[in-house]
Every structure is written in C-alpha cells, then in structure tokens.
Structure 1
Amino acid sequence: MIRVLFQNAAALTLFLWAMKRCGAPEKILSSALLVALWTNLIARWLLGYQTHFATFDPMSMAIDGALLVTAVGLSLRSNRTWPLWFAALQLLAVCAHILRPFDVNKVHALSYVILSRMPTYAQLLVLLCAMTAFENRRRHGIQATDWEH
C-alpha cells in the first residue's frame, strides 16, 4: 500500500508541476501516467479486483498498452529526447504482460512484479529530470519548441 501511495503522490506532484510550469510534452506524459495509475486503482476498487501477480493481468496490460501508445506517439512528435526513455521503460512493462501467459519456465511472480511495476519508478525519475531540465532552460532564457516541424 505504501508503494501505491508513494507512486500516486509523486505522479500527482509531477503532474501539478508540469501543468503550472512546463511544456506540452511534460504535461501530456505526466497526465497520461497519472491517468494510468488512477485508472488502475479505480478499476480495481470498483471491480474488487486484486492482482496477485501469479497469473496474467489483462487489465494492467490494457492500461500499460495505452500508456505505451501515448508515450511512443509523443516521442515521435515532440522536440525532446526524454520521451524515448519513458516509452522504453513502458515497453518493459508491456513486454512483461505479453510474456507472462507464454511463460513455459514458470518464472517467479516476483519477476513479473519487477518488470511490470518497477518501470513506473524510473518513469517518475525520467519525468523529474525532464521537468528540471525544462526549468533550467527556461531560467537561462533558452527557448525550445515543444514539437518537431
């Protein structure tokens, strides 16, 4: 439960910072990450669904897949390199979901947890670094466009 509270508090903090002080790519991906986390929480609460990570989790796969599509789309259009790192981390989570049903060697459930949930922490760090870099550029009067032309 502490992990969930930390992730959501960090994501909400970054979202609020992005909305107030950052560019469109930071706003979009911080929003998308927060929506993904909250959708997962709300759906589990409404459906009474608990993940035990011993089996494939289709709901998390759908949410993680939607976040991957958003991150890749933004990576292709934005004038930033950090969304590629965000998308690559999201790809790890999606691959964990894809490989889980085909797991012939019965990898321990902990491996599934690490590959499907831990990239979020790294994504929060990527967002923090990206937003800090945006603030530094702005502070030094460096203007960068949000989108490729």
Structure 2
Amino acid sequence: MDPFLILNLIWVGLLGAAALRWGAAPERMCVAALFAMTFGDPVYHLLVEHGPTYGTVDLGHLTMDVIVASVFVGVALRSNRVYPIWLAAFQLVSLLSHFAREVTDFFPRLAYGLMSYGPYYIILLIMTLGIAAHARRSRYLGRYRSWRISSSPSRDSRPRTQPSG
C-alpha cells in the first residue's frame, strides 16, 4: 500500500476527530469534504481499475475537485472565518490544473501532477491550522458566530420625520 495514502488517511482521520471535538459547522463541513475526497479516491481507483493518470485529464478527479471546490468556496463566502478562503484558493489551483492539461498536449506530466496533487497537502496544513485557530479563538472569546450575517443594519434605516413648520 502507498505510504502517502496511509499518511493522508491518518491525517484526515485526525482532522475529522479534531473537527468533531473542537470545530464548529465550517470546520466540520470542510473536513467532511476532505474526508470524502481522501477516502473516495482509493475507492474510485478500485472501481475504474487504474492508478492516477497524468497524460490525460482524469474525469473522476476532476469531478471530486469540482465538488470539493464548491464546498470550500461556499464555506468561504458564508463563514465567519478566514482560512476557508485559503482552502478554496488552493483547491481552485488543483481544479484549474485539469483545464490547463486539457488546453494543451504539451503540458508536462510532472507539472500536471504537482498542480493537481500538490495543493492537497497545503490544504491539509491550512485545515490543521484553521481548526487550531478556531479552538484557540473559542477558548479566549467563548462561543462566537460560525456564519456571517447577510449585512449589517444601516444607520439610515430609521424612518426620517419631516421637520414641522
């Protein structure tokens, strides 16, 4: 078995436990997306009976990257956190690697591999730091909102009265 796969499964499993223990909804949603991608990848390769391909775009990985990017972007837009923006950015790099590979046949296989798999390890690190930052912030501030409110009330929202006279 691939040692990187074992490391990935352990790391994501620990992130899942940490998100359940110290995280709130944004942490749990992001880790759930990572969990599905990490544990779904070996299952996908068992079903299609081939390893990663770098000569062409792998539609299974493209689909997984689209789904995870959608989750990260959605959480980044609505959560009261900064780290999901970073998660979304790195996941979008991975997603765009598939389109860069499709645009040209001269895209080096190593570059495609690094662009599509490299951000995953940065995402794991960001997620680890994000859960730690949330836990530290919760310890000092107590419970705080997980999600942003749609907008702040305007000062001019009070009805104006006309001066008499």
- Whose Rg is larger? 2
Q: TM-score, normalised by structure 1?
A: 0.94
SS of residue in 2 equivalent to 1:50: coil
In the other structure, the counterpart of 1:140 is 140
Cα drift, residue 40 of structure 1: 1.6
List, as ranges, runs of 4+ consecutive aligned residues in structure 1 with deviation greater than 6 Å: none
In the other structure, the counterpart of 2:29 is 28
Cα drift, residue 29 of structure 1: 0.2
In the other structure, the counterpart of 2:64 is 63
Looking at structure 2, the residues matched to 114 and 13 of structure 1 have their Cα atoms a distance apart, in angstroms, of 24
Looking at structure 1, the residues matched to 31 and 87 of structure 2 have their Cα atoms a distance apart, in angstroms, of 11
**Identity in percent:** 25
Looking at structure 1, the residues matched to 108 and 25 of structure 2 have their Cα atoms a distance apart, in angstroms, of 40
Range with bigger deviation, 5-14 or 60-69: 5-14
Looking at structure 2, the residues matched to 11 and 103 of structure 1 have their Cα atoms a distance apart, in angstroms, of 33
Structure 1 unaligned spans of 5+ = none
Q: Does 1:2 align with 2:41?
A: no
In the other structure, the counterpart of 1:126 is 126
Length, aligned pairs only: 148
In the other structure, the counterpart of 2:19 is 18
Superposition CA RMSD, Å: 1.2
In the other structure, the counterpart of 2:158 is none
Contact map agreement 2:100 2:107 (CA 8 A) in 1: no
SS of residue in 1 equivalent to 2:80: coil
Looking at structure 2, the residues matched to 50 and 134 of structure 1 have their Cα atoms a distance apart, in angstroms, of 37
Structure 2 unaligned spans of 5+ = 150-165
Looking at structure 2, the residues matched to 117 and 136 of structure 1 have their Cα atoms a distance apart, in angstroms, of 30
CA deviation profile, 1:97-128 (whole Å, cap 9, x unmatched):
11111114x12211011000011100011111
Higher relative contact order (CA 8 A, sep 6+): 1
CA deviation profile, 1:2-42 (whole Å, cap 9, x unmatched):
12221121111101110122111011101111101111211
Q: TM-score, normalised by structure 2?
A: 0.85
Q: Please show how residues 68-87 of structure 1 align to structure 2 within 5 Å.
A: 68-87=69-88
Looking at structure 2, the residues matched to 94 and 8 of structure 1 have their Cα atoms a distance apart, in angstroms, of 21
SS of residue in 1 equivalent to 2:30: helix
SS of residue in 1 equivalent to 2:47: helix
